[in-house]
Amino acid sequence: MFQAQQKVMTNQYPAWKYLLLIVITVIGLTYAMPNLFGDDPAVQISPAKSVVFNADTQVKVEGLLEKAGLEVKSSVFEGGKFLIRFD
């Protein structure tokens, strides 16, 4: 007497709304990513116009930091500048 009615799932929203939701989520995750990684305290040392840094200067700076009791995580000499990261 009664027949079982089949329910057909219909898409309630247009596809562009789902696409917009995905794009907004990806942009939000991209902006949030830097918060997932911790910051390292760092110092960048740049020379004055007449001063030139070299590898010897890097050794001297690292020695002074060691004397001061600061643990250096990494020290990079690049483009005439020092970037020193601490633990």
Domain residue spans in the chain? 39-86
The whole-number pLDDT of residue 20 equals 98
The reported pTM is 0.53
The whole-number pLDDT of residue 4 equals 67
The whole-number pLDDT of residue 1 equals 58
Residue 21 CB neighbour total at 10 angstroms: 11
Apex CA 22: angle with CA 16 and CA 27, to 5°?
A: 125
Q: pLDDT tens, 47-68?
A: 887 777 777 888 888 889 889 9
Q: pLDDT tens, 3-60?
A: 767 777 776 888 899 999 999 999 999 999 988 887 888 888 888 877 777 778 888 8
